[in-house]
Amino acid sequence: MKKSLLIVFVMFVLFVNNGAQVMNEEFRKKPPEPLKEIPFSIGKPFEKTLKNGLKVVIFENKRLPIVNFRLGFRFGQINDPPDSIGLTAATVEMLNQGTKKRTSKQFAEEVESIGASIAASSSSDNIVISGSCLSIYEEAVLELMADMVLNPIFPENELNLYKQNTIEALKFQRSQPSFLAEEQVARLIYGNHPYSIVGPKESDVEKLKRERLIEFHKKVLIPNNAVFIVVGDVDTKNTLKKIEKFFGKWQPGEVKVQNFDSPPLRNERTITIVDRKGSAQANIVISNLAIRRNHPDYFPVLVMNQILGAGASSRLFMNLRESKGYTYGAYSNFDMRRLAGNFEASAEVRTAVTADALKEFFYELDRIRNEKVSEKELQDAKNYLTGVFPIRLETQEGLTSLITQQQLFDLPKDYLQTYRDKVNAVTAEDVSRVAKQYILPDKAAIVIVGDAEDLLDQVKAYASKIEIFDTQGRRQNLDDYAKRDEKPLVDVSGKWQLTVEAQGQQLPPLSITLEQKGAEVKGSFESIFGKGEIVSGKVRGRRFIANVNASFQGQNLEFRIDAEVNEDQMKGMISTQMIPTPLQFSGKRER
Amino acid sequence: MKNLLITLVLVIFSAIISAQGSKMKAKEEFKLRPLEIEYYRLSNGLRVVLNPDNSVPVVSVAVYYDVGSRNERKGRTGFAHLFEHMMFQGSENVRKGEHFQYISKAGGTMNGTTSSERTNYFQTLPARWLPLALWLESDRMRSLAVTQENLDNQRETVKEEKRLRYDNQPYGQVFDLLTSMIYKNFANAHSTIGSMEDLDAATIEDVKEFFRIYYAPNNAVLVISGAFDTQEAKRLIEKYFATIPSQPAPPPVDVSEPEEVALREKIYEDKLAPLPAFIDGWKIPPRNTKDFKALSLAGKLLFDGESSRLYQKLVKGDESVVQIFGFVDERRGPSAIVIGAIPKPGKDIKQIRQQIYDQIKQLSTEGPTSEEMRKLRNQLINDEVRLRQSSLSRALRLGEYALYDDDPFLINKALDELLQIKPEQIRDAVAKYLNTENRAQLNVVPANQK
């Protein structure tokens, strides 16, 4: 008896000391069940319209002693006068750069001295002036916001500084491939509709005049086209009084409804290349016209897009990144504005796999259109959307921007309260229907920013119509690109020894053996790391371009050679997905 | 721990707001309720911080491991960050990549980050999914899949990340370079991303050993913040974490520094930079010291916001720079303050730099004005209140206080301590640590137009 107790004791000690590995911890094998749901409801804000037409929306939230303000106007950059693009943005950004009461410096000092922040911005549809502060400073911030809205003087020197800085920013924009892609997408999808304009040109900014801003401000920033939203630790009655005090005398004006041309109907798929020479990557955007923000199909589209490409567990990401490794990320998005909207699927891929990436994109677009989504996929997407919704409401800023959206886009009054129910009501049939209706692969505009010479041959199978622009937005002559292939061709046949430099060090020698037929080149690749095959090699004039599939110590590696040939010498670059900065190399033909 | 609800009441009789043209008086009492915090240790040494707050049915779970680049030896740089990647490669009951999928399908968000000081992992979910987060975090703490395949794979991903985020970005290497000029001690001076040669040299045994030493429960802090029941949370924590064995304490770290910066001047040619730029760094005392706090306030006065001294002088007054920026590199050991600018084309860099030094000198002799002190106080209160809104931001701050100071209750005292700093302290700290030629000056030159 004693002995057996001892054994039990020894076993027990061993058991404990060995810890997790020995213990029977079956519960770890499967993910645990969730706890019970905590019900969650969102109240409704107080709403009132002042005599001058200013709509006031107040949402009391006493959790912490802070408050957020938004003064929104249903007026945006699309309402710029056609001869003065950029006027709305300039007027709005200049509001706090000098008023009848304060210089820009005094304004900044007063805002920051109470720990508050005030900012003004414009988008294509709206102007939003936002403020935030400790609730004890509510009145001070309201006064400051009123001062910038009612009394701006647009000082000449401040306007000049704005112009200088904006022009610097525009130059920087053009170095970004994503901007170049958006510029073309907007033009192709929206045609003569002002959504086609992505921003002012340098010349537009240069001709901005103080008088024009003054006149524009008076006409456009009017209370009867605005909504004032207050969220936070306030007393509704009291706050309403303060808003009346500071904004009550603001004179209403005439709200002009502008009519715009409809976006064009597209009948076929097209390709637009923005020629960014030497680009190691290709930015692909596939787009078509879709729905405006307050469209009844908003929720089915939201759920469908979650399945297709909104996140890092959506189909596009799982296919193009996780399974194929073409890119760091592939996504889809519905850009929904007040009057119209468009669908976009996009990725930055390495140039050599541009056509392969297009193939996978169109495979996924067809699949979501033609095959019903599984119940599990549907449920996962809904869980995600309904789950992250309350996370956005944790902060006052999050709640405020949702209320601002609801107000400015004229969404239903119970938008926030019914959001999760509406997501949950979407069916697999809804998903198929909206996919068919709003994703139109056969009429899509494909925009690719990258090196046009590399892209043309690869992608031409994907559309009958191809056009090319340069990075300044100027149309290029397609024939010029075609002619480059017709120049007298260099002969690259033979065995070449290549010398490659990587980070200042010379790599062990590589060699390629080439066979040329017309402009086509085949061959093999050899090095001490492993061997490979030259695929899709070609010669254009003096240029030799090829993709190499190699196997390095069991690892497959794809890379690209791009070189200029001069008799028995070649000089150029080797690039792979692993190295965004290509490696320089030089080659010598063995004789 | 004794008194969970020490009532911290901040009474701020705010000054008269004298606004040009309009006079308003605000005399208000400002009260900030302390956060409810419980802090304890499991028998295996895991430190646990609980911060229940039922405002929104959301919960954040953060795990802090006491390992950052400061723990790396020569020849082993980049390990802490490589490990952050390894932690998403699966464990005994969670397959590769599934952590993200589980969180996403529950309607949550997640991430992980590595700094010189620590590595953290965190997720925010609808409150009912708390057990899922604890299951996921405990599974990788006890049984991470440290395999050759995962190592090779993540090594490549990290290299690609380095190329994308550092090597292929204009000004991408500048901060790492400056760090190596400020700090002399290897533990402080090398970058978190590490060297590719070191990563290549890493063997599976190295990595397993690293995991055993640093990813042990006694080297970690678990924080839960948001909507949950404390008793239930404790029961779940015990269930998922208590049986993970503790390990011998990791080797101690020496982060001591001489007063002098490591290198005063350097010119760096940047292939991708569109314009020349410069960035200077000063060595300052460790976080949680009086001088550090005073200097972080001085930093706010110099470069935070449009009313800051440098913004008003250089962007507005002289119109000489495209951008002015600064930040404090906060560390448990010697830390740093950094100020840099991108001048407009054709402007004299020397002169702009001198303007910055002049502003520092002025602050070091005259100290902040009373208006500036009022601004600081209001900004500090506003920032503190806003940081308390989201469960994630609370969890992250609590994790740091627990890990660095073994005292998460500091979160309830931090604001008060900052508010007590006097203008003379700011002036004297600037005089001692910033108004000096003991600083690192890095000049960035676009490579094609030097």
What are the start-end ranges of the H helices in B183-317?
186-189, 196-201, 204-214, 230-241, 290-303, 309-310
Q: Which residues contact A90 (CB under 8 A, 6 or more apart)?
A: A159, A162, A166, A205, A208, A213
Classify domain B265-449 at the CATH superfamily level. Answer: Metalloenzyme, LuxS/M16 peptidase-like (3.30.830.10)
Q: Place B2 in a pLDDT band, splitting at 50, 70 and 90.
A: very low
Q: Which residue has the tokens 């190329």?
A: B163
CA–CA gap between residue B82 and residue B85 (Å, rounded)? 5
A140 and A120 within one domain:
yes
A220 and A107 within one domain:
yes
Cβ contacts of B57 on chain A, cutoff 8 Å: 38-40, 390
- DSSP-assigned states of every residue in A495-537: EEEEEEEETTEEPPPEEEEEEEETTEEEEEEEESSEEEEEEEE
Assess if residue A126 is contained within a domain: yes
**Contact of A365 with A441, CB cutoff 8 Å:** yes
**Contact of A533 with A549, CB cutoff 8 Å:** yes
- DSSP-assigned states of every residue in B291-319: HHHHHHHHHHHHHSSTTSHHIIIIIIIS-
With b for 16 or more beta-carbon neighbours within 10 A and e for fewer, the B248-259 pattern comes to eebeebebebee
What average pLDDT does the segment B75-81 reach?
A: 93
A443 and A393 within one domain:
yes
With b for 16 or more beta-carbon neighbours within 10 A and e for fewer, the A346-374 pattern comes to bbbbbbbbbbebbebbbebbeebbeeebe
SS3 for A294-329 is CCCCHHHHHHHHHHHHHCCCCHHHHHHHHHCCCEEE
Class of domain B38-241: alpha beta
Cβ contacts of B108 on chain A, cutoff 8 Å: 387-388, 391
Is pLDDT of B448 > 70? Answer: no
Residues 351-410 of B with CB under 8 A from A: 371, 374-375, 377-383, 385-386, 388-391
Split into its structural domains, chain A has a count of 3
Q: Which residue has the tokens 């507005």?
A: B316
Domain boundary among A459, A481, A503: A481
Half-sphere exposure of A423 (CA within 13 A, CB side): 23
Is pLDDT of B31 > 80? Answer: no
CA–CA gap between residue B55 and residue B391 (Å, rounded)? 10
Q: Which helix (H) or strand (E) holds B148?
A: helix B148-162
A341 and A209 within one domain:
no
Residues 248-307 of B with CB under 8 A from A: 271, 274, 305-307
Longest dimension (CA), chain B: 71
Tokens of B419: 């508010």
A581 and A461 within one domain:
no
- DSSP-assigned states of every residue in A370-405: HSPPPHHHHHHHHHHHHHHHHHHTSSHHHHHHHHHH
User: Which residues are registered as beta bridge partners of A162?
Assistant: none
A577 and A438 within one domain:
no
Q: Place B134 in a pLDDT band, splitting at 50, 70 and 90.
A: very high
Q: Tell me, what CATH number does A412's domain have?
A: 3.30.830.10
CA–CA gap between residue B170 and residue B164 (Å, rounded)? 11
A219 and A298 within one domain:
no
User: Which residue out of A14, A37, A130, A136 would a mutagenesis test of the B interface target, given it has the greatest number of B Cβ atoms within 10 Å?
Assistant: A136
Q: Which helix (H) or strand (E) holds B379?
A: helix B370-387
Q: Place B168 in a pLDDT band, splitting at 50, 70 and 90.
A: low
Residues 189-218 of B with CB under 8 A from A: none
Assess if residue A538 is contained within a domain: yes
Assess if residue A163 is contained within a domain: yes
User: Which residue out of B378, B383, B388, B448 would a mutagenesis test of the A interface target, given it has the greatest number of A Cβ atoms within 10 Å?
Assistant: B378
How many C-beta atoms lie closer than 10 Å to residue A22's C-beta? 12
SS3 for B58-96 is EEEEEEEECCCHHHCCCCCCCHHHHHHHHCCCCECCCCC
Q: Chain A closest CA to B259's CA: distance in Å?
A: 34
- Cβ-defined contact of A391 to B243 (cutoff 8 Å): no
Domain boundary among A432, A447, A481: A481
What residue numbers bound the domain in which A282 lies? 270-481
Tell me, what's the pLDDT at A578?
58
**Contact of A495 with A587, CB cutoff 8 Å:** no
Is pLDDT of B27 > 90? Answer: no
The domain segmentation of chain B, as residue ranges, is 38-241, 265-449
Q: What SS3 class is residue B367?
A: coil
**Contact of A26 with B135, CB cutoff 8 Å:** no
Query: Which amino acid is located at B230 in the chain?
Result: T
Assess if residue A7 is contained within a domain: no
Q: Which residues contact B18 (CB under 8 A, 6 or more apart)?
A: none
Assess if residue A274 is contained within a domain: yes
- DSSP-assigned states of every residue in B325-343: EEEEE--SSSEEEEEEEEE
What is the helix, strand, coil percentage profile of chain A, to 5?
40, 30, 30
B136-B137-B141-B145 Cα dihedral, nearest 10 degrees = 40
Q: Chain B closest CA to A255's CA: distance in Å?
A: 31
CA–CA gap between residue A132 and residue A144 (Å, rounded)? 11
Q: Sort B153 into a burial class: Cβ within 10 Å, 0-12 / 13-18 / 19+.
A: middle
Half-sphere exposure of B390 (CA within 13 A, CB side): 21
The 10s digit of each residue's pLDDT in A288-298 is 999 999 999 99
CA–CA gap between residue A60 and residue A43 (Å, rounded)? 9
- Cβ-defined contact of A578 to B159 (cutoff 8 Å): yes
Domain boundary among A481, A515, A550: A481
pLDDT in tens, chain A (591 residues): 444 544 544 444 444 444 444 466 899 999 999 999 888 889 999 999 999 999 999 999 999 999 999 999 999 999 999 999 999 999 999 999 999 999 999 999 999 999 999 999 999 999 999 999 999 999 999 999 999 999 999 999 999 999 999 998 888 888 788 999 999 999 999 999 999 999 999 999 999 999 999 999 999 999 999 999 999 999 999 999 999 999 999 999 999 889 999 999 999 999 999 998 767 789 999 999 999 999 999 999 999 999 999 998 899 999 998 888 888 789 999 999 999 999 999 999 888 899 999 999 999 999 999 999 999 999 999 999 999 999 999 999 999 999 999 999 999 999 999 999 999 999 999 999 999 999 999 999 999 999 898 899 899 999 989 999 998 899 998 888 876 655 678 889 999 999 887 766 777 788 899 999 888 899 998 888 788 888 778 887 788 888 888 877 666 777 888 888 988 999 888 877 655 566 788 899 987
Is pLDDT of B15 > 50? Answer: no
- From the list B19, B30, B135, the residue facing A31 with the nearest CB is B135
A497 and A463 within one domain:
no
A223 and A95 within one domain:
yes
A491 and A456 within one domain:
no
- From the list B19, B56, B307, the residue facing A394 with the nearest CB is B56
The 10s digit of each residue's pLDDT in B290-303 is 999 999 999 999 99
Q: List the Cα angle B27/B31/B37 in 5-degree steps.
A: 170
A499 and A473 within one domain:
no
Cβ contacts of A23 on chain B, cutoff 8 Å: 243
Q: Which helix (H) or strand (E) holds A565?
A: strand A555-566
Q: Tell me, what CATH number does A574's domain have?
A: 2.40.128.120
CA–CA gap between residue A378 and residue B231 (Å, rounded)? 35
Q: What SS3 class is residue B359?
A: helix
Q: Which residues contact A245 (CB under 8 A, 6 or more apart)?
A: none
Q: Chain B closest CA to A401's CA: distance in Å?
A: 15
Return the closest-CA partner of residue A90 out of A48, A44, A121, A51.
A121
Tell me if B38-241 shares its fold with B265-449.
yes
